[in-house]
Chain A
Amino acid sequence: MDMNIPYTVEERPDTGLYNGKLGVWLFLASEVMLFGALFSAYIILRSGSVEWPHGELSIPFGTANTFILIGSSVTMVMAWASLKLNQWSRHKLFLGLTLLLSAAFLVNKYFEYSEHLSKGEGPWHSTFFGLYWTLTGLHGLHILGGMTVMLYLLGPGAKLHKTNPEQFTNRVEVTGLYWHFVDLVWIFLFPILYLL
């Protein structure tokens, strides 16, 4: 017997949601708690510290990365909108651009990390650098996770577009939700680590 789970593609009338969308929103709620706890740790450690370093990180690098991520959020929306408009090649272009921008973010991060390591500013150096490495490291893992999903959607996952375009569009949509969240986390990380 072939069994179908209801509302994997279409919306349930009384909730107005398909399963995947609700699932991703719930997942993001748990992510808010994860980063919320880490931000609280930052506040408690910083307010309990005798002195707090300023200007340890390169603001130009951080600013560049902020714009790169915001740009990738825009291209992510465009990738989804193109699907809605039935423009397959434009979708591929924008999803590819998103992937490229996220790779650029990580390359930037690599240069930042290696510079700090060469100066001996590893996580053990101070509470500030401990937090810097932990928070940006965890954020970087989220970027990698998002890139894996995008690679899948561009590669083997793209086949679904032929058999079930609506479900494929849903997948791109929820990937976008996740991606905007990862972007949003960086919007918080940038000021508390680079500026304040």
Chain B
Amino acid sequence: MDNVATHGSAHGHAHDHHEHHELGFWRKYVFSVDHKVIGIQYAITALCFLLFGFSLMMMMRWQLAYPGAPIPLIGNLFGPDKAPGGVMLPEFYNMLGAMHGTIMVFLGVVPLAVGGFGNFVMPLQIGAPDMAFPKLNMMSYWVYFCGGVTMLVSFFMPQGAAQSGWTSYPPLSVINQGGQTLWLIGMVFLITSSLLGSVNFIVTIVQLRAKGLSFMRMPFFVWAQFVTSFLLLLAFPPLEAAGVLQLMDKLAGTSFFLPSGLVVANQVVTGVTGVAEGATRAGGGNPILWQHLFWFLAHPEVYVLILPAMGIIAEVIANNTRKPLWGYRALVYAVGFLGFMSFIVWAHHMFMTGMGTTMSAFFQTTTMIISIPSVVILTALLLSLWGGSIRYTTPMLFALAFLPMFGIGGLTGLPLGLAPSDIHLHDTYYVIGHFHYVVAPGTIFALFAGIYHWFPKATGRKMNEMLGKIHFWGSFVCINTVFMPMFAQGLAGMNRRMYDGGGMYDHNKVVLGHLLGHAITPVSLNIVIGFGAWGLGLFQLPFIINFFSSIKWGKAVNQNPWEATTLEWAAPSPPGHGNFLTEPIVYRGPYEYSVPGAPSDFTPQFEPERA
């Protein structure tokens, strides 16, 4: 194990020259079939999209905090049809909103959590030489890339990007002449990419586990990826179907989602655009059908966002508490049950559609049931801290923050899962606050934890702890400044899609007046949130600097710098093509920390039993 540090630093210079590899630059770094390179490609592309999607939000936050004021510095870049004089038009605001959601979910978080971490870490953790289908893996990435390009290109089309929210509810999305068509085409790319990826993940986990690695010896991260892949595999096709149907509505003049006698701007909608110009709309469609198909994907999608994050947190917590995960089996059963239940809760997004009390009763019951495995997982992770000698490394700080942040996100979801309280809270800022607590300080913090945790495996170098801690504390304070006030705004009834920041709610001083004093209104909170958002942007700078400088100047470390037990730490850092120098064999469970009588406080899975 000792000679690995030299191996790592030797590799650090390897990419300066073409060395004695048969593969050229293009096959090695661009069209690579190596799961680690593909994972890094996914991760870097997704991080860029996260930054881009966040930038859209920072501009929207300016408009909400100071409605009608020109956007500072960059306002003049957008031209008169989007922001005349630097002042954002409502249509442009809608584009930013729709694309922020789409980009963050489908191009940022999922590709980073599944495509990035899943690809890079999972095959290493199960002791596989690569994914089961390496070429398919490369294809997944490039199809995802095409989807991302399609989404970006839509901003530059004459009519701009999609404007109907990330949920794209018809009839609005069908009637609106924005970039909805390109949005749908982009989605078909992204769905296809996810499908190919999920098939590859499941086959890899089932078929390529190393000798001795039974299912119950798999690290929890692998379990989380396994369940996530099933969700992607089975939940995404209905959205693909819905996308095809909406594309037909847009291009071929069908009326799947357009009811008869639909009136827009005092005119009955009869015209058809696309191939059948001049024909009349048949009508007879059902807008609610889209919502059913959309949420049948989009609810499991929530778990696609959160399960890999939980997997990362489990790895980081076990490693930094130096003790086994509390309730490994319970965690595994809970994650499986969660995956199953996530398919039968979707209509809790639709209590306002008038689908009837029987349906509402069913879906609120399943929604309350699904909170049980979530609480099991969170509790097990929390109890894992008990009695541990915790190492407060940067990844651990992010993991520790994840627990209460995800807790807030989850608990604030309960009133939304019950029809009576949801009717008041639906489509308010309360909803925005709720799901952002799950995804932003929840999932994205977990993803940061994962980046700091596995960076040494990918590069052979550690990221800087000081910059990491600045990044963590700054982000932690700012992100709560952004999302906590939204609960108050939402409880005061503020609608989530107000272009002017909800000026019409300004009379509603009483609600918050009792809480916070009369100077603060739901609308003035927008300024607080704005500064939180811009501050959050600022505090990503230490991360970006840290990320790039550590690749070259980070502290060189051996192959197992965190003294961890799982298989990925048996491979060199960075692992070469084919991953392991000798075929790994697994002798025990994944979290054998502080075993009484063992020579060190960690007993890796790959270390043979002493005689």
Contact = CB atoms under 8 A, between A and B. Distances in A.
Interface in B231-255: 233-238, 240-242, 244-245, 248, 252-255
Interface in A2-16: 3-8, 12, 15
A45 B134 CA distance: 41
Contact of A26 (B131, B199, B577, B578): B199
B238 A22 contact: no
B256 interface: yes
| Residue of B244, B276, B578 with most chain A CB atoms under a 10 A cut-off | B244
B200 interface: yes
Interface in B255-304: 255-256, 272, 275-276, 279-282, 284-286, 289, 292-293, 296
A160 to B, nearest CB: 15
Contacts of B272: 124
A124 B276 contact: yes
Given A3-B129, A5-B134, A30-B237, A37 B296 contact: yes
Interface residues on A, range: 35 or more
Contacts of A50: 284
Given A26-B203, A49-B284, A37 B242 contact: yes
Given A1-B578, A23-B199, A124-B252, A6 B236 contact: no
A167 to B, nearest CB: 14
Contacts of B592: none
A44 interface: yes
A45 B289 CA distance: 8
Contact of B248 (A26, A123, A126): A123
A182 B243 CA distance: 21
B207 A15 contact: yes
B130 A30 contact: no
Contacts of B233: 26, 29-30, 33
Contacts of A134: 244-245, 248, 254
A3 B254 contact: no
B241 A34 contact: yes
Nearest to B136: A23
B195 A30 contact: yes
Given A5-B132, A23-B200, A123-B276, A34 B255 contact: no
A44 B195 contact: no
A139 B571 CA distance: 46
A126 B256 CA distance: 9
Contacts of B202: 22, 26
| Residue of A6, A26, A35 with most chain B CB atoms under a 10 A cut-off | A26
Contact of B241 (A7, A8, A37, A44): A37
Given A26-B202, A122-B252, A123-B253, A41 B289 contact: yes
A8 B234 CA distance: 24
A5 B130 contact: yes
Contacts of B242: 37
B172 interface: no
B208 interface: yes
Contact of A124 (B134, B236, B253): B253
A48 B133 contact: no
A64 B233 CA distance: 34
B577 A130 contact: no
| Residue of A5, A38, A50 with most chain B CB atoms under a 10 A cut-off | A5
B132 A23 contact: yes
Interface residues of B, number: 49
Given A34-B237, A127-B255, A133-B252, A12 B285 contact: no
B206 interface: yes
B68 interface: no
Contact of A1 (B199, B248, B253, B576): B576
Contacts of B245: 38, 41, 134
Contacts of B236: 30, 33
Contacts of A38: 241, 244-245
B133 A19 contact: yes
A138 interface: yes
Nearest to A24: B199
Contacts of A7: 132, 207-208
B208 A6 contact: yes
B288 to A, nearest CB: 8
| Residue of B233, B254, B256, B282 with most chain A CB atoms under a 10 A cut-off | B254
A142 to B, nearest CB: 13
B487 to A, nearest CB: 35
Given A4-B129, A5-B129, A37-B238, A15 B206 contact: yes
Contacts of B293: 37, 40-41
Contacts of A3: 129-130, 577-578
Contacts of B276: 122-124
Contact of A127 (B235, B238, B284, B577): B284
Nearest to B232: A30
B359 to A, nearest CB: 13
Nearest to A39: B241
B279 A30 contact: no
Contacts of B130: 3, 5
A38 to B, nearest CB: 5
Given A3-B129, A41-B293, A123-B254, A31 B284 contact: no
A127 B256 contact: yes
Contacts of A41: 241, 245, 256, 289, 293
A124 B207 contact: no
A12 B577 contact: no
B212 to A, nearest CB: 12
Given A33-B237, A45-B285, A122-B279, A19 B132 contact: yes
B519 to A, nearest CB: 51
Contacts of A125: 279, 282
B234 A127 contact: no
B237 A31 contact: yes
A149 interface: no
> Lowest 3 A-B CB distances belong to which pairs?
A124-B253, A130-B254, A37-B238
17 contacts: A1-B576, A19-B203, A23-B132, A23-B133, A23-B199, A27-B199, A30-B199, A30-B233, A30-B237, A38-B241, A40-B293, A41-B241, A123-B248, A124-B279, A126-B282, A126-B284, A134-B245
